[in-house]
A and B are shown apart, each in its own frame.
Chain A
Amino acid sequence: MIQKKVCMLGAFAVGKTSLVRRFVHSMFADKYLTTVGVKIDKKQLTHSGKEVLLLLWDLYGEDEFQRVQTTYLRGSSGLFLVADGTRPDTVEKAIELRDKALASLGNVPHVLLMNKCDLSPQWEVRPERLRQLTESGWQIQRTSAKTGEGVEQAFASLTEQMLGGIPK
């Protein structure tokens, strides 16, 4: 079995925890997020016939009062950066967090999850901005915590990127 640590980062209230709740196995309560600043879930999947266990570190959302504790990022093999399509500032926050994380981790695989795709008509993030990001190398996945759309694909995509470097 292959184990990988994956961190989930994003601005406050972008729906990180809700996004994965239905897709992961939990043993710790949400209160850890507000107390310790992190909550750990696990996600089991199969990649190329090999069992893979993702330890998902859900880090407390960053806002003006609380900073993400970068020590939690140590040893991560991949990142999920979550943004809310209805709040353009969350995309910028995701970029900022990514830069901060890569500065300490080095270049690890990461996927930007554009959440709340069920509310597409109300999105304020312009498609041009997303296109720009894609062109600059960002991997973007549209997701919805409400419908579950795109979440499994996000796990599969990040796993693919992380295990790409492992010789078979």
Chain B
Amino acid sequence: MSDESNHSASPPTASASTSDEYQQLRSLLVRPERDDIDSLKRQLDERSAVDARSVAAVLPAAFSLASEQNGDLGSAMAPTIESALQTSVRRNPDVITEAIFPIIGSAITRAVHEALLRLLQQTSYALDHAFSLRGWRWRIEALATGKSFSEVVLLHSLVYRVEQVFLIHPESGLLLQHVIADSVATATGQQTQDASMVTSMLTAIQDFVRDSFRVESKAALDSVEVGDLQVWLERGPHAVLACVIRGTAPVRLRELFRRTVELCHRSHSEVLKAYSGDTDDLKGVRPYLEACLQAQQKTEQPRPFAAWFVIGVGLLVCGYFLYGSIVRERTHARRLVFAVESLRKQPGVVLLDATQKQGHFALRLLRDPEAEEVEQVLRSAGLRPEETESVVTPYLAMEPELVLRRARRALAPPDGVQLSFNITDGVLMALGTASEQWIADAKLLVRVVVGVRSFDCKVKPLPREKTLYEVLYDRARIIEAIDFRFRAGSIELLPGQESQFQKAVTELKQLLALADGDRTGMNVTVEVHAHTDTIGDELYNLKLRESRAKVMSHWLASAGIDMRRLRPVVPLQFEQERSERATSFRVIITGGINHREGAR
């Protein structure tokens, strides 16, 4: 049992010692590797930090090295830098603003300077070519070719210009990308889609030439020349650059084209290697192609003096028109001010506001009906009626002139009357002479004149004129005073009454003429009363009276008095006012304004 236990105890002791030795041996053998593993493990744990540190240490040197070798670094970083700038501006525009502020001023100055220089140069060219014999020749060329004159001038002024750049798939001749100079695009209106046929045909012609002359398959055309146009071809393994050049291009352009082909291959190598036909995949090469659109102008001796002269004349003309427009504007404004002043001085006119809009004046005013017409005032101030647009509201003014005008219109004073008005006490005074009727009317009418508080009427009344009735009445009295004496018992007048009869005829004619005047409305009848004495038989006397009345009427009618106006009257004896052998007249006036029957 114990053996068993000893036996069982001894081997572990031996085994433990063996294990230790083994561990020692193992440690001796693999320690270096183990240390390496531990170190690597630590490095793995701190990998990100270590990477950042190690990259940071080599980054500047790496950037310098990459920049020296080629332009790839710039191309690669451009999108990141653009995106960073956009983010920065979005987040806080002030940072970028402050950063570029010191250079903004000089940049603007330089831009202005270059613009002026360009203007000067263009003017010189235009001057040189506009009127010269050469200029006329170019004009004819422009007409013949359908190009614009400026385009022809430009073409002749160019040493060379790269007009179009094609990037072509070499095998299929498919157009990968195409750029065209702005001026050429405008002049020809050429479309990109036609360019695809052009590149195919160009490729076909290259194949044709190669096959026709049995040159080796890798050999290819370097350039094609037609007139003053050249096509320079620059080949890469997966793309061909074809540049259409007008004029004589310098050889250094070849270098630019070669670099461009290389750049295209570097930046889009995968797409070019397996081109699927999708043009969108190669949009990124456009900036490289655009950089090839170069041009150089002939350096002709410009004539700055002539250019300065033309620019100077141009400036003078501009100045003249500018001055003219300023003067017109000022005159316009001055006329408005003058018109406003004139209106303000007008009694009975209140200017509420005056504005100038779209070349005419808008006025708002109050005006007393007795004041001057607004149009008249404006015309006197030099404004035409079509230049103004007035809105006039009537009102009653209290200025003494206006009150006086109002009073004059209401009272209509005759020539002999002067009116005056005292604003202080509001008294309207009238002096002079006028009819009683006017004086009476004026006293009533003055009460409705606004502004007049009392009426001081010192007008002397004129003697009253007789009315027609009164005139007729006076004449009737003269006629009625005339009578004619007859012999006793006879119709024969006593002698010596001829002049009396003539007077009676004259008076009667005048009376009737007055009464018969236009629209008098007066009607005059002359009664011829006959009288007798009371001696003898009354019947005889009655007949005698009748005869005397008729004979007198007859005599008067014979002398020219209208018989219809005469009425013989034969009174009975008791009716007789007089007992004389006579005839007398009684004038009866009827009608008219002052209708009154009879003279007495």
Given A2-B278, A3-B279, A4-B277, the answer on whether A75 and B172 have CB atoms closer than 8 Å is yes
A57 interfacial contact with B, CB 8 Å: yes
B245 interfacial contact with A, CB 8 Å: no
B522 interfacial contact with A, CB 8 Å: no
Given A5-B173, A40-B200, the answer on whether A72 and B207 have CB atoms closer than 8 Å is yes
B280 interfacial contact with A, CB 8 Å: yes
B208 interfacial contact with A, CB 8 Å: yes
Tell me, rounded to whole Å, the shortest Cβ–Cβ distance linking B555 to chain A.
134
- Chain A: interface residue count, which band? 20 to 34
**B193-219 vs A: 1/0 string, CB under 8 Å?**
110111011001101101100000000
Tell me, rounded to whole Å, the shortest Cβ–Cβ distance linking B528 to chain A.
132
Contact B200 A5 (CB under 8 A): yes
Across the interface, name the chain A residue whose C-beta is closest to B278.
A2
Contact B208 A37 (CB under 8 A): yes
Contact B196 A75 (CB under 8 A): no
B169 interfacial contact with A, CB 8 Å: yes
Given A3-B196, A55-B200, the answer on whether A69 and B174 have CB atoms closer than 8 Å is no
Q: Name A55's contact: one of B174, B210, B276, B280 (CB within 8 Å).
A: B174
Across the interface, name the chain B residue whose C-beta is closest to A41.
B197
Kindly name the residue among B194, B211, B277 whose own CB sees the greatest number of chain A CB atoms within 10 A. B277
Question: Which residues of chain A in 15-57 are interfacial with respect to chain B, using CB atoms and an 8 Å cutoff?
Answer: 25, 27-28, 32, 36-38, 40-42, 44, 53, 55, 57
Q: Name B197's contact: one of A55, A72, A76 (CB within 8 Å).
A: A55
B373 interfacial contact with A, CB 8 Å: no
Tell me, rounded to whole Å, the shortest Cβ–Cβ distance linking A75 to chain B.
3
Q: Which residues of A sit under 8 angstroms from B277, Cβ to Cβ?
A: 2-4, 77, 166
A71 interfacial contact with B, CB 8 Å: yes
Contact A75 B171 (CB under 8 A): yes
Contact A75 B169 (CB under 8 A): yes
Q: Which residues of B sit under 8 angstroms from A69, Cβ to Cβ?
A: 207-208, 211
Given A42-B196, A55-B197, A55-B200, the answer on whether A74 and B172 have CB atoms closer than 8 Å is yes
Q: Which residues of B sit under 8 angstroms from A74, Cβ to Cβ?
A: 171-172, 207
| Distance between Cα atoms of A5 and B276 in the complex (Å) | 11
Question: Which residues of chain A in 77-128 are interfacial with respect to chain B, using CB atoms and an 8 Å cutoff?
Answer: 77
**B268-282 vs A: 1/0 string, CB under 8 Å?**
000000001111100
Question: Which residues of chain B in 315-356 are interfacial with respect to chain A, using CB atoms and an 8 Å cutoff?
Answer: none
B175 interfacial contact with A, CB 8 Å: yes
**B163-175 vs A: 1/0 string, CB under 8 Å?**
0000001111111
Tell me, rounded to whole Å, the shortest Cβ–Cβ distance linking A40 to chain B.
4
| Distance between Cα atoms of A4 and B276 in the complex (Å) | 9
Q: Which residues of B sit under 8 angstroms from A1, Cβ to Cβ?
A: 278-280
Contact A40 B171 (CB under 8 A): no
Q: Which residues of A sit under 8 angstroms from B175, Cβ to Cβ?
A: 3
Contact B211 A55 (CB under 8 A): no
Given A42-B193, A77-B277, the answer on whether A5 and B174 have CB atoms closer than 8 Å is yes
Across the interface, name the chain B residue whose C-beta is closest to A77.
B277
Q: Which residues of A sit under 8 angstroms from B205, Cβ to Cβ?
A: 36
Chain B positions near chain A (C-beta within 8 angstroms): 169-175, 193-194, 196-198, 200-201, 204-205, 207-208, 210-211, 276-280
3 closest residue pairs by CB, A with B:
A75-B172, A75-B171, A5-B172
23 contacts between A and B (CB under 8 A): A1-B279, A2-B276, A2-B279, A4-B174, A4-B277, A5-B174, A27-B194, A27-B197, A27-B198, A28-B197, A36-B205, A36-B208, A38-B208, A40-B197, A40-B200, A40-B201, A53-B193, A53-B196, A55-B174, A55-B200, A57-B204, A71-B207, A77-B277
Given contacts A2-B279, A3-B279, 17 further A-B contacts (CB under 8 A): A4-B277, A5-B200, A27-B194, A28-B197, A32-B201, A36-B208, A38-B208, A55-B172, A55-B173, A69-B207, A71-B207, A71-B210, A72-B207, A74-B172, A74-B207, A75-B169, A77-B172
